[in-house]
Amino acid sequence: MPDTLAAQAATRPTAWKQTALQGWGRSSLSPCLAARPERLRELRAALDAPEGRTLIAHGGGRSYGDAALNTDGAVVVTGRLDRILGFDPATGELVAEPGVTFADLLDVFLPRGFVAPVSPGTAHVTLGGALANDVHGKNHHHAGSFGEHVLWFDLLLADGRMQRVSPESDPALFQATIGGIGLTGLVAALCFRLMRVPSNALAVRRRRVRNLDDFLAGFAAAGGATWSVGWIDALAGGASLGRGVLETAEPAESGIEARPAKARRFPIDAPGWLLNGASVRAFNEFYWRRVPASGQQVTVPYRQFLYPLDAIEGWNRMYGKQGFRQFQCVVPPGPGEAALRQLLETVAAGGNASFLAVLKVMGPQGQGMLSFGMPGYSLALDIPARPGSEAIFARLERITRDAGGRIYLAKDSLLSAESFAAMYPRADEFRAVRQRVDPHRRLSSDMARRIGL
Amino acid sequence: MNETWLILGASSAVARAFAREAAAHGAALLLAGRDMEDLEHQAADLAIRHGVSALPMRFEARELASHAGFVAECRQRAGSGLLNVFLAFGVMPDQAEADADPAVAAGMVEANFTGAASVLGVLGPVLEAQQGGTVVALGSVAGDRGRKRNFLYGATKAALLVYLQGYAARLSGAGVRVLCIKAGPVDTGMTWALPRLPFMASPREFAAAAWRRAGRGGGSAYLPVIWWPVMTIIRLLPTPIFNRLNI
Ligand SMILES: Cc1cc2nc3c(=O)[nH]c(=O)nc-3n(C[C@H](O)[C@H](O)[C@H](O)COP(=O)(O)OP(=O)(O)OC[C@H]3O[C@@H](n4cnc5c(N)ncnc54)[C@H](O)[C@@H]3O)c2cc1C
């Protein structure tokens, strides 16, 4: 008797609820059925979505567009699967469930002298999300993207099988899943290597940069830096086009006193008029002038350098109810330099209130079939969702494509299927793997349908 | 800290959060439940995050005959340290489901009350013998007054509360503190699919508050505290009005 009861409890149907999810840009609401498994057994059960609906994983919800949305389909929220399963301090090898976040890693491992080898710009990203978008950090130019550090992962396939996938065991499935925007299966655990650091702090140098040429020269000169990133005032045009602040950082030999991080919360959906040209211009100007003309050298905790935006929780509400979109592309060196100028001119001319744009030098092509990273320059900027903003995106997409660059799926909500095909040359290889592991397309998302996968 | 917390029903989200809280304060953990795969994940997590010892243990609330052996093993595993108990197991099937199927109703009573009374009964002498320790059990605001929506669940939690009152009285001489938490809805798998509930706490907030409250002594406590005024009003509503409410 007790055993049958236990069996009943074990096979209890997954709790699904009708809800509506948004990407980080909040530019659209997506109704769906959602489950939030708390353990592996429930994750397995969630694979069987009601009414034969298609399914997609949803991690921290930090993708700006529709990578983790499945309108009228089913969505599996993975944040409660947040256990660290193994750690070897000798090698730095970490095994964890997919809902563990970069914030968890910082809390647990920085005091022991380890950090994630690659980290995106917010600590709220989950490891599952990091794998699925093959994310990059400010050290992409020599650390590559997240997938480069992954040794294996456990993938729950559409047919219910759990497979441990490594570059040796199934290279195609490995490369399809890294950067595969959740379409090959549900990652149930992953193993990657943390990086040793001497202290909890970074020695950061900042300097003002007058324009785009100055920036590119600055990056070239800073090629040896462990981390580097450029903040561009996207409203500055003319001779100041591309002006901004170049930041480079190295691990600091000695640490600084750790203060508990306390985020402030952005209280409301800001009214639309708040982000007008003048207010953003003033902010960007302030940001530029904050750095003394002679440059600046400071020692800051990792959190502050890696995740500056996390200081204000829910900052995405600053763009008001209509939300915003982010544009991020990478363009190859050479033709990319002219493209960067065109991209910045397009945005500056549109007078689109964009806070600081981010310029990074990118390193090697990622191994994922749909990995974003490739040698060149990456430019990211926010544009409020307003009438007319889609036309600007179409122009930015065109410029990127013509320069032989690509748009980052983690940020995207508008890329056309045609441009996707032009930008991601391994898409057919990806389709073939998907045909093998999910012939009935049980996994799908708004993004997958939009870009024709 | 040479203390161990025995977590009964350790796979539940609230129990998991409480175990993390205890581990963060340096306590060793005994994680008792049925889903061994999950308990192993949890044990690894606690050991890595907090450097404490954490052991998965098989426990089935409805197998009353197994409780004596289980408790003996817990005592032994806790070594010379103080053994504390967090009792979190329980099920909450739909009232309608329980109305329609007596086996579901009986299963709930068995798990939520009979199983709890049995394992606490066996733990009693162990706690008395160590002359100290804390027992925290998850009651529910649903136990304050039987509501149409879930009075069977509420009844099991009301029974647990009364049991704990007497249990506390009996163990008070031995310096054992017994706390019944009258929990409001917590954002867990149990409440995920329910219509939006008021004053929902995250498991983490709830566990932190439960830990702090347990440090202040036994008795009973509403968590989140907002449920104290709310339930006071609900308890005082005249029956004819209460019966017409759809809560
Ligand atoms: C402020 C900010 C800064 C950012 N900075 C950077 C940056 O510097 N570099 C960068 O690369 N990115 C950056 N991003 C983007 C972000 O890193 C990616 O969008 C990342 O994928 C988000 O992960 P998530 O956990 O939020 O997952 P979601 O956004 O919820 O999901 C992302 C994808 O992962 C899939 N997924 C999630 N979990 C699983 C799983 N368990 N199994 C299978 N698939 C899964 C989803 O299906 C989806 O396709 C930034 C985002 C923000 C908001």
The DSSP string of A130-196 is HHHTT---TTHHHH--GGGGEEEEEEE-TTS-EEEE-TTT-HHHHHHHTTSTT-S-EEEEEEEE-EE
Q: What is the pLDDT of residue A352?
A: 67
CB distance A40–B41 less than 8 Å? yes
pLDDT higher than 60, residue A272: yes
Per the domain annotation, does A241 fall within a domain?
Answer: yes
Tokens 């204000």 correspond to: A312
Q: What is the pLDDT of residue A425?
A: 97
Per-residue confidence at A271, pLDDT binned at 50, 70, 90? confident
- pLDDT tens by residue, chain B, 247 residues: 689 999 999 999 999 999 999 999 999 999 999 999 999 999 999 999 999 999 999 999 999 999 999 999 999 999 999 999 999 999 988 899 999 999 999 999 999 999 999 999 999 999 999 999 999 999 999 999 999 888 999 999 999 999 999 999 999 999 999 999 999 999 999 899 888 788 899 999 999 999 999 999 999 999 999 999 999 999 999 999 999 988 7
| CA neighbor of A302 nearest in space, from A388, A387, A199 | A199
Rounded to whole angstroms, how far apart are CA atoms A64 and A315? Answer: 13
Within 8 A of B111 by CB-CB distance, chain A residues are 5
Per the domain annotation, does A133 fall within a domain?
Answer: no
The runs of H, that is alpha helices, within A407-445 are: 417-423, 427-437
Residue A321's domain comprises: 201-414
Per the domain annotation, does A395 fall within a domain?
Answer: yes
CB distance B13–A97 less than 8 Å? no
- Identify the top-confidence range among A350-364, A382-396, B175-189: B175-189
pLDDT higher than 50, residue A349: yes
Per the domain annotation, does A408 fall within a domain?
Answer: yes
pTM of the entire predicted model: 0.95
Query: What domains can be seen in chain B, in order of their start residue?
Result: 3-244 (3.40.50.720)
Interface of B with A (CB under 8 A): 11, 13, 16, 34-35, 37-38, 41-42, 44-45, 48-49, 60, 62-63, 91, 107, 110-111, 188-189, 192-193
- Give Cα separations from A201 to A119, A303, A304, B231 (angstroms): 15, 9, 9, 49
Section A160-178 average pLDDT: 98
Q: Cβ of B56: how many Cβ atoms within 10 Å? A: 22
DSSP string, A275-325: S-HHHHHHHHHHHHHHS-TT-EEEEEEHHHHH-GGGGEETGGGGG-TT-EE
- The yes/no answer to whether this complex scores an ipTM above 0.85 is yes
Active site residue B153: yes
E strand spans, chain B: 3-8, 28-33, 54-58, 82-87, 134-140, 177-183, 219-223
Rounded to whole angstroms, how far apart are CA atoms A100 and A192? Answer: 13
Tokens of A70: 């499945």
Q: What is the pLDDT of residue A261?
A: 64
Per-residue confidence at A6, pLDDT binned at 50, 70, 90? very low
- Please report, for the domain that includes residue A251, its CATH number: 3.40.462.10
Per-residue confidence at A9, pLDDT binned at 50, 70, 90? very low
Q: How many domains does chain A have?
A: 1
Q: State in Å, rounded, how far the first CA of chain A is from the last one.
A: 49
Per-residue confidence at A353, pLDDT binned at 50, 70, 90? low
Per the domain annotation, does A263 fall within a domain?
Answer: yes
Q: What is the pLDDT of residue A10?
A: 41
Per-residue confidence at A1, pLDDT binned at 50, 70, 90? very low
Per the domain annotation, does A191 fall within a domain?
Answer: no
Section A212-217 average pLDDT: 94
Rounded to whole angstroms, how far apart are CA atoms A285 and B115? Answer: 66
Burial (0-12, 13-18, 19+ Cβ within 10 Å), B236: exposed
Per the domain annotation, does A161 fall within a domain?
Answer: no
pLDDT higher than 60, residue A38: yes
Per the domain annotation, does A225 fall within a domain?
Answer: yes
Rounded to whole angstroms, how far apart are CA atoms A363 and A377? Answer: 9
